[in-house]
Amino acid sequence: MATHPRLHRWFPFLAWPRPSREMLSGEMWAGLTVGMMVIPQGVAYAALAGMPLVTGIYASLLPALVAVLWSSSQRLGVGPTALSALLVGTSLTGLADPGSPEWVTLAVWLALLSGLLQLMLGLGRCGWLLNLVSSPVLTGFTQAAAILILLSQLPALIGLDGPLTQLLHHPAIDLQALAFGLGAMLVLAAGKRFAPRFPTLMALMAASAVLSAWLGFARGGGAVVGTLPAGLPALHWPGALSWSLLAQLALPTMVITLVSFLETASSAKVDNQRGGTRWNENQDLIGQGLAKIAAAFSGAFPTSSSFSRSAINLYAGAKSGWASIFSVLLVLATLLWLTPALYHVPQAVLAAVVVAAVSSLVQPRVFVRLWRAARVEALIGGTTFLLTLATAPRLYWGVLAGLLMSLSHFLFHRLHPRIIEVGLHADGSLRDRHLWRLPALAPNLYALRMDAELDFASARGFERAIVEHLGRHPRLQHVCLFAQPINRVDATGAEVFGQLRTLLAERQVTLHISGMKLPVEQALRRGGQLPAEGTSAPLLRLYRTDGDALRQLRHRLEDYVI
């Protein structure tokens, strides 16, 4: 039975294809592949977030189900991610002790607040806000966050009971934990290279648990996962927080919302490109927001879209959201019956899982590429990187500083538009005559082009260019504006345009305008800065194309220069 198209926005899963036996078979194997990856990663990322380890599995159950049902991108791997876990762990440092009930309450509030914020942004169709974050800012933050994650996992990886600084004073390293950690790293690297389709991660967890139990690693004081509660998560409602605590969670909430959605965007764009569909960022905001709210009600921490699990889902042949349903069923079975099997897994192996997943994010060469492409933006990315490291554990200061610098750079360029005097190139095109050392189009003519909108940001620069040229050339008789790049005019731009027309008319200077776009022309006619359609005005000439303008200027100006 066909459903009403309007229902698809509120219930996107109604648009899923009706599954066939062949389709379900392929979706099942793709979903089980991701499920075998998300369980150990969930436990490892819970440790990174300072949460009880079982909450990593909780975050892979109901949130993943809600996300796939209400997102437009059906093949994303939603659940715990390294960046979200790191942001939780660093944001709550100093507010509570990791793993304590107070810490869990604060983490649940982060999930609830960031989920509500994403939900409101999606319902308000504010996905365009994603464009405010430039690639250099995201690059700088991601590189710094990856390094911080790696440093945070080194103590567990080498069996150090304490922070890394302990190596300088009392270097007590658990050699068995070190062997487990390094061995796990080698296994994961070999599996990625030689057997990418094999569930290396799940096999590693099982083998390390068996080996740990046989060696008596836990009895000897080794750090293991330990007892995890079996069964489904109970409905969780966090206790009330004071206004002061809520205020301290405001910035982390915004940064988690932002970083989470950027993670989603990186995966969703790939998903939609391969599917040949248009990305509906607002619907994905709704789905991701509902997933975080579901995580809060499960007593877990904020979730996001994992790029690695989403890539594996696509690689395994997932065609729709049914693959995620099978992944959720595997997580459900683990919670009901298989949590005892995780008891003996060494925490050094969990650290190796995090290190293996995050190490691919560390790419120093991206700064070299940024420097070659745009040095100012490379400096913005580098500053974001350094500030994120310097302000740890308050990582949001690095993001906010980078965002402020990026927006300031953008505004600087908007306030200083590119305005050039054009000359005729040998190939017949109009180019910057000073850059290409071209002669003026004609004596007593100022021919200019502005590569920007004529709005409040650029209007004063446009006015300054003409007024300053008039001051330097008092005998100027003609100004020709090649207006093709101007695609919009606002009230300020129209007002400045009108003032310039008056100024030029007072000095008996003819204004020629070439190639003005129809919406701009109509706006100026409505505002009275141009004469009504079908009428003319003294000292004003309009041309539809640049070729028309050049021919007429050649005819009118006897000393026209080819």
Q: Is the pLDDT of residue 115 over 90?
A: yes
Cβ contacts of 409 within 8 Å, gap of 6 or more: 376, 377, 380
Q: Are residues 300 and 444 in the same domain?
A: no
Does the N-terminal peptide bond of residue 393 adopt cis geometry, omega within 30 degrees of 0?
A: yes
Q: Are residues 62 and 138 in the same domain?
A: yes
At 14 the pLDDT is 77
Q: What tokens does 316 get?
A: 């395994």
DSSP conformation class of 445? E
Q: How far is the C-alpha of 302 from the C-alpha of 50, rounded, in Å?
A: 13
Does the residue 454 lie in any domain? yes
Does the residue 345 lie in any domain? yes
Name the 3-class secondary structure at 553.
Answer: helix
Q: Do 367 and 378 meet the contact criterion of CB atoms below 8 Å apart?
A: yes
**Domain limit, last residue, from 314, 336, 362:** 362
The chain-wide mean pLDDT, for the chain, equals: 89
At 8 the pLDDT is 67
Taking the CA atoms of residue 47, residue 247, residue 304 and residue 290 in that order, the dihedral angle to the nearest 10 degrees is 120
Does the residue 122 lie in any domain? yes
Q: Is the pLDDT of residue 136 over 70?
A: yes
Does the residue 68 lie in any domain? yes
At 562 the pLDDT is 39
Q: Do 414 and 407 meet the contact criterion of CB atoms below 8 Å apart?
A: no
Q: Are residues 348 and 450 in the same domain?
A: no
Q: Are residues 42 and 147 in the same domain?
A: yes
Tokens 């690695």 correspond to what residue? 308
State the total domains in the chain: 2
- Please report how many Cα atoms fall inside a 13 Å half-sphere around the Cα of residue 199, on the Cβ side: 19
Each residue of 372-415: pLDDT tens digit?
Answer: 999 999 999 999 999 999 998 888 899 899 999 999 999 999 99
Does the residue 16 lie in any domain? no
Q: Do 344 and 217 meet the contact criterion of CB atoms below 8 Å apart?
A: yes
Nearest to 252 by CA among 137, 387, 106, 153: 106
- Integer angstrom CA distances of residue 185 from 6, 176, 371: 49, 14, 33
What are the beta bridge partners of residue 305?
78
Residue 287 binned pLDDT confidence (cut-offs 50, 70, 90): very high
Nearest to 133 by CA among 362, 418, 384: 384
Residue 291 binned pLDDT confidence (cut-offs 50, 70, 90): very high
Q: Are residues 209 and 328 in the same domain?
A: yes
Q: Are residues 109 and 221 in the same domain?
A: yes
At 1 the pLDDT is 45
Q: Is the pLDDT of residue 243 over 50?
A: yes
Q: Do 87 and 301 meet the contact criterion of CB atoms below 8 Å apart?
A: no
At 167 the pLDDT is 60
> What percent of the chain is predicted at pLDDT more than 70?
95
CATH number at residue 466: 3.30.750.24
Residue 201 binned pLDDT confidence (cut-offs 50, 70, 90): confident
Q: Are residues 199 and 340 in the same domain?
A: yes
Residues 100-104: what's their mean pLDDT?
95
Q: Are residues 345 and 464 in the same domain?
A: no
Q: How far is the C-alpha of 150 from the C-alpha of 352, rounded, in Å?
A: 10
Q: Are residues 433 and 355 in the same domain?
A: no
Does the residue 412 lie in any domain? no
Q: What tokens does 486 get?
A: 């101007």
Q: Is the pLDDT of residue 29 over 90?
A: no
Each residue of 63-73: pLDDT tens digit?
Answer: 999 999 999 88
Residues 213-242: what's their mean pLDDT?
90
Q: Is the pLDDT of residue 347 over 50?
A: yes
Q: Is the pLDDT of residue 484 over 50?
A: yes
Q: Where are the alpha helices (DSSP H) in 100-199?
A: 101-123, 135-158, 166-169, 175-194
- Model pTM score: 0.83
DSSP per residue over 494-532, as a string? HHHHHHHHHHHHHTTPEEEEES--HHHHHHHHHTTSSPP
Does the residue 492 lie in any domain? yes
Q: What tokens does 28 get?
A: 């099942």
**Domain limit, last residue, from 314, 347, 362:** 362
Burial 311-346 (b: 16+ CB within 10 A, else e): ebbbebebbbbbbbbbbbbbbbebbeeebeebebbb
Q: Do 440 and 448 meet the contact criterion of CB atoms below 8 Å apart?
A: no
Nearest to 291 by CA among 453, 76, 443: 76
Is the four-CA dihedral 71, 76, 79, 83 of positive or negative sign?
negative
At 402 the pLDDT is 93
Tell me the Ramachandran region of residue 528: left when phi exceeds 0, alpha when psi lies from -120 to 50, beta otherwise. left
Q: Is the pLDDT of residue 3 over 60?
A: no
Name the amino acid, one letter, at 160.
L
**Domain limit, last residue, from 347, 362, 377:** 362
Q: Are residues 340 and 488 in the same domain?
A: no
Residue 533 structural domain? 419-559
Q: Are residues 330 and 429 in the same domain?
A: no
Does the residue 498 lie in any domain? yes
DSSP conformation class of 432? E
